[in-house]
């Protein structure tokens, strides 16, 4: 496997779907929100991505069964108030290298462009390092029209104190080169733990924008499962990072294989 591979599971016909990206990042706020929509609305998986820039590893679940590193596309047809189509992107990893991020995001955009996507929402969070009283949702947009739209949903436009690293930023930036409009929604979070509160806040804003109706009751329950999976993923990412930055005199005791 020298190249990123897109595996189509179902040839699906979608009508200008809205694209929602929620790959794992800090707080895993976006992932929890998207996984919840997928589960509650029975979204259907139709494609997977495998990439040599994903971590060279597998995950192991509670029963000792392994799972490969991948990104997964789900669709919803004629959903919500406006009977819109949707594509949701989730997964257990992002590309490790800059080149890998660009390659994978390029292939993601190839796929969703083929299905007619014109609008992208990426989910992330803004780790403040401070305790959060009431989760604020911050936003960044590809254009002023989208920025105005976000403000209607109580999204605070993010001011000039940083940027958006990873797929949540790159998909929007590379999307503008394909005339896609989009926004990144970021749940405020202290950043230290799996943040179900921030997930709920971002989910509510997202559902309002997308005009989708989803019961949010089970989110807390799911957050528990997600926490387990995620703490495992983070542990492994750290192991990878460590392996790549071992210092003289340090022995790597975590290598398995």
**Binding residue for a copy of itself (CB under 8 A) from 8, 9, 58, 208?**
58
Is residue 222 near a copy of itself by the rule CB under 8 A? no
In degrees rounded to 5, what are phi and psi of residue 183? Answer: -150, 150
**Beta bridge mates, 139:** 157, 185
DSSP 80: T
| Sole binder of a copy of itself in the list 45, 57, 136, 222 (CB under 8 A) | 57
62: helix, strand or coil: coil
Kind and range of the H or E run holding 198: helix 196-210
Secondary structure (3-state) at 230: helix
- Asked whether position 152 contacts a copy of itself by CB under 8 A, the answer is no
In sequence order, the β-bridge partners of residue 73 are: 47, 89
Q: Which stretch binds a copy of itself (CB under 8 A): 9-17, 80-88, 112-120, 158-166?
A: 158-166
**Interaction between residue 50 and a copy of itself (CB under 8 A):** yes
Cα dihedral angle (27, 30, 36, 42), rounded to 10 degrees?
Answer: -150
Q: Does 235 bind a copy of itself (CB under 8 A)?
A: yes
Q: Which one of the spans 21-29, 77-85, 112-120, 200-208 is the region binding a copy of itself (CB under 8 A)?
A: 21-29
- Identify which of 87, 83, 91 has the alpha carbon closest to the alpha carbon of residue 75: 87
Quick check: 165 binds a copy of itself (CB under 8 A)?
yes
Restricting to residues 169-188, name those near a copy of itself by CB under 8 A.
Answer: 169-170, 172-174, 176-177, 184, 186
The yes or no reply on residue 6 touching a copy of itself (CB under 8 A) is no
By CB under 8 A, is residue 162 in contact with a copy of itself? yes
CA distance 5 to 39: 25
Q: Which 73-92 residues touch a copy of itself, going by CB under 8 A?
A: none
131 contacts a copy of itself (rule: CB under 8 A): no
- Which is it for strands 181-189 and 137-141: parallel, antiparallel or unpaired? antiparallel
User: Is residue 1 involved in binding a copy of itself (CB under 8 A)?
Assistant: yes
């Amino acid at each position: 496997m020298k190249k990123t591979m897109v595996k189509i599971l179902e040839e699906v016909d979608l009508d200008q779907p809205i694209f929602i990206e929620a790959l794992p990042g800090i707080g895993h706020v976006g992932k929890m929100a998207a996984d919840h929509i997928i589960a509650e609305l029975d979204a259907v998986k139709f494609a997977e991505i495998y990439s040599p820039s994903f971590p060279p590893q597998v995950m192991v679940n509670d029963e000792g069964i392994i799972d490969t590193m991948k990104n997964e596309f789900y669709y919803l047809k004629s959903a919500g108030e406006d009977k819109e189509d949707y594509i949701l992107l989730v997964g257990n990893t992002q590309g490790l290298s800059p080149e890998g991020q660009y390659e994978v995001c390029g292939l993601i955009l190839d796929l969703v462009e083929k299905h007619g996507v014109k609008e992208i929402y990426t989910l992330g969070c803004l780790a403040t390092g401070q305790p959060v009283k009431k989760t604020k949702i911050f936003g960044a947009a590809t254009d002023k029209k989208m920025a105005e739209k976000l403000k209607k949903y109580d999204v605070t436009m993010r001011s000039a104190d940083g940027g958006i690293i990873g797929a949540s930023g790159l998909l929007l930036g590379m999307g503008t080169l394909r005339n896609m409009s989009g926004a990144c929604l970021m749940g405020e979070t202290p950043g230290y733990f799996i943040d179900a509160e921030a997930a709920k806040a971002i989910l509510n804003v997202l559902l309002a924008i997308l005009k989708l109706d989803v019961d949010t009751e089970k989110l807390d329950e799911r957050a528990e499962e997600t926490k387990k999976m995620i703490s495992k993923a983070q542990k492994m990412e750290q192991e990878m990072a460590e392996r790549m930055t071992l210092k003289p005199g340090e022995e790597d005791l975590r290598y398995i294989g």
